[in-house]
A and B are shown apart, each in its own frame.
Chain A
Amino acid sequence: MKIKSVFMMAIFSVTANKLRTFLTLLGIVIGVAAVISLMSIGRGTQQAITAQIESLGTDLLFVSPKSGGNLTLADADLIASDPRSNFRVAPQINAPGSITFRGEETSAIVNGVTGAYASVRNLEIDSGNFLSPSHVKNRNEVVVLGSEVAKDIFDERKPINEYVSINGRRFNVIGVLKEKGGGARFGSEDGQIFVPLTTAYYRLTSERTTQGEISISTINVQYVSNGELVDKPVEDPKEHISDILRFSHRTTEDDFSVTNLQDVIDTLNEATAALVVLLGSIAGISLFVGGIGIMNIMLVSVTERTREIGIRKALGAKKRDILGQFITEAVLISVSGGIIGASLGALISYSINRLRLFGPDFETVITADIAILALTVAGVIGLFFGIYPAARAAKLNPIDALRYE
């Protein structure tokens, strides 16, 4: 039988009962649309996180204490003064905090940092200045605001030289950062504020080491190669920093960890890839249910058309003709459902971006591979769930089928 006639016959058959075909189609449409929109959200999350991290620059390393261990300013200085490398170091302590301006309150992550932090973390100043070494030395109560924080509590007003209250203490606003994007919820600096490290330590928290030194949460280290300046350039900055600290801490077991940005990206990618797969699988379940719907309707159709099958066989149709006819119908339904569902999923994904449903910085990502995957799965589902009904039709005995009322 010619492919064209098989195809025309299938179109004719599935359009004969429009409501039924539409409802069967709907199962696949919803499944495919769910797969595509959820996976586009998952991919969007993945991309947002990666972009955010990469905006820090990939030459960045983080040193943080393990539980039971401590990092001090001395450790930071030790790394900074290493003769074999050209590390730029920005120690950091974190304190939770709330910030108030004329009764307007917002919560923010309070970072105690030094002046080097801005250059190490690629921060740019929008107005005013970043913290200076003298601010740190004098424990000044001054603050630099992330763009989102500034917008939140000052609206259109100019924040510079205004006074805000942080955890009950008055701080002078000396600078506002440029918007960095990436969304505050993904850890962007837009939602953070920066005070001198010493001020944060003495005025806002009270954690100190057993020796009474300042306990550091993270040492940010930027590795700048200086291969031409020294005899033996540092090949593995991560290992080199570890060596410096091991020597200084004199511990048998590392009480600190050094992470580079690639590690962070890899870890998060693993987590978000799992998220994408999870979202896809949940949506895949509805696709599977849609497939069962196709099988169900095909079985009903085979029973209803028993006589038709008998007639076709009497007129010379072979098993494979009948098999092909019913499988084509099932695949036609599932693939049309797949195409409609893919369009619907793309529309949903587009609407999420257009209506900014997940915030201004979130973009869903639709890639061709998601669409191709969803369509292929839809086709395979039609084939898989169509085979059994079609085989039943093909197996019918023509005499019984002709006698069927």
Chain B
Amino acid sequence: MISLQNVTKTYQIGPSLIKALDNVNLSIEVGEMVAVMGPSGSGKSTLMNIVGCLDVPTAGTYSLKDRKVEELSENELADIRGTNIGFIFQTYNLLPRLTALANVELPLLYDGSKNTKARALEALEKVGIEDRKNHKPSELSGGQQQRVGIARALVKNPSIILADEPTGNLDSKTGVEIMALLQQLNKNSKITVVVVTHEEEIANYNDRVITFRDGSIVSDKPVSDKTVISDQYLSDRIANNEN
């Protein structure tokens, strides 16, 4: 699914050349749930940008579903982002003036989909927040906003969800809910999930943890005692939230 071979990414900042990724080799299979860890500046954000097709490597090859990303045009990259990848952000990145429903509908507007409203509503139902569909982000709690963000990532049935510190702005209880939701999507919808985090606890909800330091992978190992949240727990929590 995701395969990086000798990927290097350098940035020119003023007179100095910064090596954000240094000869990274990595592959992630369909249906995996992977945590990417590391201190800030270790290259994990650059990795996410490249995996998310927001950026292309300076050297090396990145293949997504056997397509070489560095050979694609800007428009093709936009298409891949739209159809294959769902982004979840630490700060949610919802458009403040749009309702929850309109925010979720947004990705569908860029590919000429039909029944956009119905599909957006369906995605909101999947994350259990359809009753807040007409609320604007400012009228929602952090957890609710992040669930709208997840619905937006889901709405086009992507094969990969990239979550950049999805629980970073949330309290731990809400964080667990969000991780539970991601686990559920990974398990039930077979979506590959990549989560960037610096919290050990959050990393433990994944199958595998990759650790970065100074642009290189320093460790890549499976999680032996993965925290699994039952679907029951999740639906209870969501039910409680609604009360």
| A313 interface contact, C-beta 8 A | yes
| B55 interface contact, C-beta 8 A | yes
Q: List the B residue with the shortest CB-CB distance to A13.
A: B97
The minimal Cβ–Cβ distance linking A309 to chain B, given in whole angstroms, is 11
The minimal Cβ–Cβ distance linking A1 to chain B, given in whole angstroms, is 6
| A348 interface contact, C-beta 8 A | no
Interface pick from A26-34, A244-252, A293-301, A315-323: A315-323
Q: List 6 A-B contacts (CB under 8 A).
A: A1-B112, A314-B87, A315-B110, A318-B74, A398-B54, A402-B93
Chain B positions 191 through 219: 1 when the CB is less than 8 Å from some CB of chain A, otherwise 0: 00000000000000000000000000000
Chain B positions 73 through 93: 1 when the CB is less than 8 Å from some CB of chain A, otherwise 0: 011001101110001010001
The minimal Cβ–Cβ distance linking B9 to chain A, given in whole angstroms, is 11
Beyond A5-B109, A316-B107, 7 additional pairs, beta carbon < 8 A: A315-B110, A316-B83, A318-B79, A318-B110, A319-B78, A399-B55, A402-B54
Interface residues of A in 302-328 (CB under 8 A from B): 307-308, 310-319, 321
Cross-interface CB contact of A318 among B75, B83, B156, cutoff 8 Å = B75
Determine the distance from Cα of A399 to Cα of B45 in the docked complex, in whole angstroms: 10
| A186 interface contact, C-beta 8 A | no
Q: List the A residue with the shortest CB-CB distance to B153.
A: A315
The minimal Cβ–Cβ distance linking B65 to chain A, given in whole angstroms, is 16
Which of chain A's residues have a CB closer than 8 A to the CB of B109?
Answer: 1-2, 5, 9
Which of A310, A316, A321 neighbours the largest number of chain B CB atoms within 10 Å of its CB? A316
Determine the distance from Cα of A398 to Cα of B85 in the docked complex, in whole angstroms: 15
- Which residues of A pack against B, CB within 8 Å? 1-2, 5, 9, 12, 16, 307-308, 310-319, 321, 398-399, 402
The minimal Cβ–Cβ distance linking A317 to chain B, given in whole angstroms, is 5
Interface pair B152/A315, CB less than 8 Å apart: yes
Q: List the B residue with the shortest CB-CB distance to A318.
A: B78
Q: List the B residue with the shortest CB-CB distance to A307.
A: B93
Interface pair A315/B49, CB less than 8 Å apart: no
Interface pair A314/B52, CB less than 8 Å apart: yes
The 8 closest A-B pairs by CB, nearest first: A316-B82, A315-B107, A318-B78, A316-B110, A5-B109, A398-B54, A311-B93, A317-B110
A308-B95, A398-B54, A399-B49 are known contacts. Are A315 and B81 too (CB-CB below 8 A)? yes
Q: List the A residue with the shortest CB-CB distance to B155.
A: A315
Interface residues of B in 77-127 (CB under 8 A from A): 78-79, 81-83, 87, 89, 93, 95, 97, 106-107, 109-112
Q: List the B residue with the shortest CB-CB distance to A5.
A: B109
Which of chain A's residues have a CB closer than 8 A to the CB of B83?
Answer: 316
Chain B positions 44 through 67: 1 when the CB is less than 8 Å from some CB of chain A, otherwise 0: 000001001011000000000000
Interface pair A315/B87, CB less than 8 Å apart: yes
Interface pair B106/A312, CB less than 8 Å apart: yes
Cross-interface CB contact of A314 among B54, B112, B156, cutoff 8 Å = B54
Assign chain B's interface to a size class. Answer: 20 to 34
Which of chain A's residues have a CB closer than 8 A to the CB of B89?
Answer: 402
Determine the distance from Cα of A12 to Cα of B111 in the docked complex, in whole angstroms: 20
Q: List the B residue with the shortest CB-CB distance to A305.
A: B95
Q: List the A residue with the shortest CB-CB distance to B82.
A: A316
Interface pair A319/B110, CB less than 8 Å apart: no
Interface residues of B in 154-191 (CB under 8 A from A): 156
Interface pair B78/A316, CB less than 8 Å apart: yes
The minimal Cβ–Cβ distance linking A404 to chain B, given in whole angstroms, is 11
Determine the distance from Cα of A2 to Cα of B106 in the docked complex, in whole angstroms: 12
Which of chain A's residues have a CB closer than 8 A to the CB of B95?
Answer: 308, 311
Q: List the B residue with the shortest CB-CB distance to A16.
A: B97
Determine the distance from Cα of A1 to Cα of B81 in the docked complex, in whole angstroms: 15
Q: List the B residue with the shortest CB-CB distance to A401.
A: B54
Q: List the B residue with the shortest CB-CB distance to A308.
A: B95
Q: List the A residue with the shortest CB-CB distance to B113.
A: A2
Q: List the A residue with the shortest CB-CB distance to B75.
A: A318
Interface pair B111/A2, CB less than 8 Å apart: no
Determine the distance from Cα of A347 to Cα of B55 in the docked complex, in whole angstroms: 55
Interface pair A399/B54, CB less than 8 Å apart: yes
Interface pair A12/B81, CB less than 8 Å apart: no
Which of B55, B83, B109 neighbours the largest number of chain A CB atoms within 10 Å of its CB? B109
The minimal Cβ–Cβ distance linking A360 to chain B, given in whole angstroms, is 55
Which of chain B's residues have a CB closer than 8 A to the CB of A315?
Answer: 81-82, 87, 106-107, 110, 152
Which of chain A's residues have a CB closer than 8 A to the CB of B49?
Answer: 399
Determine the distance from Cα of A314 to Cα of B87 in the docked complex, in whole angstroms: 7
Interface pair A1/B54, CB less than 8 Å apart: no
Which of chain A's residues have a CB closer than 8 A to the CB of B81?
Answer: 313-316
Which of chain A's residues have a CB closer than 8 A to the CB of B52?
Answer: 314
The minimal Cβ–Cβ distance linking B13 to chain A, given in whole angstroms, is 13
Determine the distance from Cα of A307 to Cα of B92 in the docked complex, in whole angstroms: 12
Determine the distance from Cα of A5 to Cα of B120 in the docked complex, in whole angstroms: 15
The minimal Cβ–Cβ distance linking A7 to chain B, given in whole angstroms, is 12
